[in-house]
Chains A and B, each alone.
Chain A
Amino acid sequence: MISLTINGQKVEVEPGTTILQAAEKLGVFIPSFCYDPDLTLVGACRMCVVEVERARNLIASCCTPAGEGMVVHTDTERVHEARRANLNLLLANHPLDCLTCEKTGNCRLQDYCYLYGISETDFSGERKDYGFDDSNPFFIRDMNKCILCGLCVRTCHEINGVGAVGFMNRGFDTKVSAAFDDPLEDSPCVFCGMCVDVCPVGALVPKQSVGKGRPWELATVKTVCPYCGTGCGLELSVKDNEIVGVKGDTSSPVNRGQTCVKGRFGLGFLQSPERLTSPLIRKNGELVESSWEEALNLVAQKLRRTRSTELAGLASARATNEENYLFQKLLRTLGTNNIDHCARL
Chain B
Amino acid sequence: MIGSNTTETHPVIGYRIKMAKNKGASLIVADPRRIDLVDYADVFLQLRPGTNEALLNGIIHVIIKEGLADKKFIREKTEGYIQMSLAIQKYTPEYVERITGVSAAKIRHAARLYAGAESAAILYTMGLTQHIKGTNSVLAVANLAMVSGNIGKPHSGVNPLRGQNNVQGACDMGALPNVLTGYQRVEDRGVLSKFRRAWGTKLNSKPGLTVTEIIDGILRDEIKTLYVMGENPALSDANLHHVLEALEKIDFLVVQDIFLTETAFYADVVLPAAAFAEKQGTFTNTERRVQMVRQAVTPPGKAKPDWFILQELAAKLNLNWSFDTPEKIFREIASVTPDYAGITYERLEKEGGLQWPCPTEKHPGTSYLHKGKFSRGKGLFTPVEYRPSAEEPDEQYPLILTTGRTLFHYHTGTMTRRSDSIDVHKPEEMVQISIDDAARLGINEGDMVGVTSRRGHVTARATVTEQVPAGVVFMTFHFHEAAANLLTINEVDPVAKIPEFKVCAVKVEKIEA
Contacts and interface: CB of A to CB of B under 8 A. Distances in A.
Interface in B473-513: 496-499, 501
Contact of A229 (B22, B163, B310, B419): B163
A296 B227 CA distance: 12
A304 B177 contact: no
B292 interface: yes
B362 interface: no
Interface in B239-260: 252, 254, 257-260
A344 B211 contact: yes
B15 A160 contact: yes
Contacts of B211: 314, 340-342, 344-345
Contacts of B222: 309-310
Given A276-B257, A295-B269, A296-B316, A338 B333 contact: no
B78 interface: no
Contacts of B387: none
A137 interface: yes
Contacts of A327: 175, 229, 306, 310
Contacts of A278: 272, 301-302
A321 B294 contact: no
Given A137-B424, A258-B15, A317 B166 contact: yes
A340 B176 contact: yes
Contacts of B281: 319-323
A307 B225 CA distance: 9
A323 B14 CA distance: 30
A85 interface: no
For A230, A258, A321, A339, the residue with the greatest tally of chain B CB atoms inside 10 Å of its CB is A321
B381 interface: no
Contacts of B203: 332-333, 335
B420 A236 contact: no
B386 interface: no
B427 to A, nearest CB: 11
Interface in A311-343: 311-343
B208 A339 contact: yes
Contacts of B223: 310-312, 338
A305 to B, nearest CB: 9
Interface stretch (B53-61, B410-418, B441-449): B410-418
A266 B270 contact: no
Interface stretch (A28-36, A166-174, A279-287): A279-287
A339 to B, nearest CB: 6
Nearest to B201: A333
B156 interface: no
Interface in A201-228: 207-208, 219, 221-228
Interface string B130-148: 1000000000000000000
A292 interface: yes
A289 to B, nearest CB: 9
Contact of B10 (A229, A277, A282, A317): A229
A316 B19 contact: no
A322 B173 CA distance: 8
Contacts of B298: 241
A332 B173 CA distance: 13
A345 B309 CA distance: 26
B230 to A, nearest CB: 3
A321 B424 contact: no
B207 A337 contact: yes
Given A208-B421, A243-B277, A342 B169 contact: no
B161 interface: yes
Nearest to B257: A276
Nearest to A139: B421
B153 interface: no
B165 A279 contact: no
Nearest to A281: B269
Contact of A266 (B224, B259, B422): B422
Given A226-B165, A238-B296, A326 B310 contact: yes
Contacts of B319: 330, 333
Nearest to A290: B269
Q: Interface residue tally of chain A, by bracket?
A: 35 or more
Nearest to A302: B252
B11 A343 contact: no
Interface residues of B, number: 142
A280 B206 contact: no
A269 interface: yes
Given A312-B214, A315-B175, A320 B282 contact: yes
User: For A252, A314, A319, which residue has the most chain B Cβ atoms within 10 angstroms?
Assistant: A319
Given A232-B12, A261-B422, A312-B225, A276 B297 contact: no
A337 B289 contact: no
Nearest to A161: B18
Interface in A226-283: 226-233, 236, 238, 241-243, 251-255, 258-262, 265-270, 272, 274-282
B112 interface: no
A229 B422 contact: no
B214 A276 contact: no
A207 B297 contact: no
A302 B407 contact: no
Nearest to B297: A241
A330 B310 contact: yes
A115 B414 CA distance: 47
Given A317-B165, A321-B172, A266 B258 contact: no
Contacts of A331: 227
Interface in B5-55: 7, 9-15, 18-19, 22, 40
B167 A229 contact: yes
A314 B177 contact: no
A238 B501 CA distance: 40
A304 to B, nearest CB: 7
Contact of A265 (B186, B278, B316, B421): B421
Contact of A324 (B170, B252, B279, B292): B170
- Pick from A238, A325, A326, A335 the residue with the most CB of B within 10 Å: A325
B295 interface: yes
Contacts of A190: 7, 11, 407
A192 interface: yes
B94 interface: no
A11 interface: no
17 contacts: A221-B296, A228-B165, A229-B162, A230-B161, A231-B289, A241-B298, A262-B422, A266-B415, A277-B301, A281-B269, A296-B312, A316-B170, A321-B283, A323-B281, A340-B177, A341-B231, A345-B501
Closest 6 CB pairs of A and B: A277-B301, A231-B285, A320-B281, A316-B230, A337-B208, A229-B162
Given A315-B170, A330-B317, 13 more contacts: A160-B18, A190-B407, A223-B292, A228-B9, A230-B286, A236-B296, A251-B352, A292-B312, A314-B226, A320-B293, A321-B172, A337-B204, A340-B209
Interface of B: 7, 9-15, 18-19, 22, 40, 129-130, 161-178, 180-181, 186, 195, 199, 201-204, 206-212, 214, 217, 222-231, 233, 236-237, 252, 254, 257-260, 267-273, 275-279, 281-287, 289-298, 300-307, 309-314, 316-317, 319, 323, 326, 329-330, 332-333, 352-353, 407-408, 410-411, 414-416, 418-422, 424-425, 496-499, 501
